[in-house]
Structure 1
Amino acid sequence: MAMITDAFHKTPLAAPQLTMQPPGGKTLVTLPNFFQVSWPDRGVLPGELDTLSAADWFGMNITLKPELNSITYSFGDGSTVGPTLNLGGPYPSGDITKTFDEAGEFQVSADAVYTGWVSIDGSEWIEIPGTVAIAGTPERVSVKTARNSLYLS
């Protein structure tokens, strides 16, 4: 099982991509921001089967299946949400939200933890011991303050 665990750790698992609303990496203090994780086109996705080369495994057919164990959202100000299986969502129904209390520049990210399963020559799925952590790409968020002004014409 050690070789399979090692192969699972070397599998190019998909890194979560974080999107935010409002878009554009700019927001205002006290404005609710909605976050959502999606998966890129590259890398092995949660639930996707990854078949290893039989030539590398003494003729055995080895199939790995990663499973999302958790996502942790980090907002760059010391606050986090998770670990959770919640992928968030867009405004107004998304339930991974963050309201920044202060202006500043923040790095927000979502990191994934995977567990895995293996099938050897078509056997039933066997759980692979341990987990694999994949860091998402940090996104910069600029939080500004707004002032109201009343102008009479």
Structure 2
Amino acid sequence: MDKIDSFKVDHLNLLPGIYVSRKDFLGTNCLTTFDIRITRPNFEPVMNTAEIHTIEHLGATFLRNNSEFKDKVIYFGPMGCRTGFYLILSGDYKSKDIVELLKDMFRYIIDYNDEIPGATAKDCGNYLDMNLSMAKYISKKYLNDVLNNINEKNLNYPD
């Protein structure tokens, strides 16, 4: 079988950032998949499932309620390697097009102090696996270290 494109990215030189992972077409509608890389693969510790799960719940809630993007969000969820998230938007986008959206999303997580949306047995298959404090810590680190200082090396995959 052919190696899929995401396995062709040099993960030894991949920095935290926002990358266009792929673009797919359904008819004439473009779907842009973003690689939202939170930790540096194979250099930094991966995120634990509790904080990933919390960021997923809060991030999805924020994105699906965002006035500009709510009707464009197809999917937001974690990578299996636990170094980041995928965001799929309906539309033809570049990485820089969603920097402000992600800044707002991570600020929302940092400032969040209520019950986590969907964190009940009725609403979620693993509702006890949540860690708001660590989700806030990771979000603040990503916002300060990456999003607030974003540049081309954090917006384009390494060669």
Fold in common (TM above 0.5): no
Q: TM-score, normalised by structure 2?
A: 0.30
Structure with higher helix content: 2
Which of the two has higher C-alpha Rg? Answer: 1
Q: TM-score, normalised by structure 1?
A: 0.31
